[in-house]
């Protein structure tokens, strides 16, 4: 479930390890099926031990830890992965332990309950090749409205499904796609090639607003409680969701509509049929802060 705001919160949470040296790396004593570590655990360990952490970045929904400005460790949490500086939620699902020295923190941990995530070590060249513009679109916080309209506008797919395509724009997942389209007052089943320019501007503005607000609140921790920041503290944006997981509840914008749940590309979509009509006519919007 970690999307851009959660991964950005993870990134900011571990900025304190810049300048630290990697003393050792080991698989944690996790009896589950091991997560994917590239290229191999042995090479990963050999090629990271002794390196100094120079920068912490983010590529879409991945945390990037740069080493001596030559290589990078990529943490890809997928559904339930966490990057932590403190004790994990459970010992059972701890996957990787990076021992640190010369800084304020003793270790960087990768924890993953379902184990769908992975950790990679790549040279900067390999990193650039793997995540080129065709594979991973511009970051959702960096892309312009022009680029968004250009990259998605020719598609016959629905806008909700297209926003999840990381090749078009990087960082948006299922939860935030629903929130973005609600704020933009766009029906999730609208086809991209029927969306007009002013509407792309609205989608773009809503994307920035929703994602920045979610970062401000340190991401969304859903009812399963999985997501935590680097210090194992829950986020707060779940208290600001307007449509996600609110099926049957009144719309917080118009007060009249009931939030509906549909399935698109095998994923749940939540929207307000009053605020997000199929027609292109923009509905009147109620108080934003309500």
Partner DNA sequence: CCCCAGTCCTGCGGGC
Partner DNA sequence: TGCCCGCAGGACTGGG
Summarize as ranges the residues that interact with DNA (CB under 7 A): 1, 3, 32-33, 60-61, 76, 78-79, 92-93, 113-116, 135, 154-158, 161, 164, 166, 173-175, 223-224, 263, 265-268
Kindly state the smallest distance separating residue 134's Cβ from DNA, in Å.
Answer: 10
- Identify whether 61 is a catalytic site residue: yes
Cβ closest to DNA, residue 9 vs residue 166: 166
Kindly state the smallest distance separating residue 50's Cβ from DNA, in Å.
Answer: 28
Cα(102)–Cα(282) distance, integer angstroms:
56
- Identify whether 107 is a catalytic site residue: no
Kindly state the smallest distance separating residue 23's Cβ from DNA, in Å.
Answer: 29
- Identify whether 273 is a catalytic site residue: no
Cβ closest to DNA, residue 78 vs residue 105: 78
Q: Which of 6, 11, 58, 61 is catalytic?
A: 61
- Identify whether 188 is a catalytic site residue: no
Cβ closest to DNA, residue 46 vs residue 91: 91
Signed CA dihedral, 71, 46, 114, 265: sign only: positive
Cβ closest to DNA, residue 22 vs residue 96: 96
Catalytic (active-site) positions: 2-3, 61, 267
């Amino acid at each position: 479930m970690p999307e851009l705001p959660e991964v950005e919160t993870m990134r900011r949470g571990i900025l304190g390890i810049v300048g630290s040296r990697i003393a050792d790396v080991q698989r944690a004593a996790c009896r589950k099926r091991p997560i994917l570590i590239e290229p191999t655990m042995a090479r990963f360990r050999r090629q990271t031990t002794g390196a100094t952490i120079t920068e912490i970045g983010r590529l879409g929904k991945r945390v990037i830890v740069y080493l001596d400005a030559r290589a990078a460790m990529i943490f890809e949490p997928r559904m339930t992965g966490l990057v932590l500086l403190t004790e994990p939620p459970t010992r059972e699902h701890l996957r990787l332990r990076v021992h640190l020295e010369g800084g304020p923190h003793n270790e960087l941990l990768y924890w993953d309950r379902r184990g769908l995530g992975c950790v990679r070590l790549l040279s900067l060249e390999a990193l650039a090749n793997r995540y080129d513009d065709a594979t991973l679109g511009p970051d959702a916080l960096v892309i312009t409205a022009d680029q968004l309209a250009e990259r998605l506008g020719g598609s016959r797919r629905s806008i909700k499904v297209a926003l999840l395509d990381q090749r078009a724009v990087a960082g948006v997942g299922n939860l935030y796609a629903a929130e973005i389209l609600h704020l933009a007052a766009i029906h999730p089943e609208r086809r991209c090639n029927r969306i007009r320019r002013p509407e792309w501007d609205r989608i773009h503005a809503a994307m920035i607003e929703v994602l920045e607000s979610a970062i401000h609140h340190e991401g969304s921790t859903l009812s399963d409680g999985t997501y935590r920041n680097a210090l194992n503290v829950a986020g707060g944006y779940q208290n600001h969701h307007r449509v996600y997981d609110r099926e049957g509840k009144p719309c917080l914008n118009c007060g009249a509509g009931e939030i509906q749940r549909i399935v698109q590309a095998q994923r749940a979509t939540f929207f307000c049929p009053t605020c997000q009509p199929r027609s292109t006519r923009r509905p009147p919007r109620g108080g934003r802060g309500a």
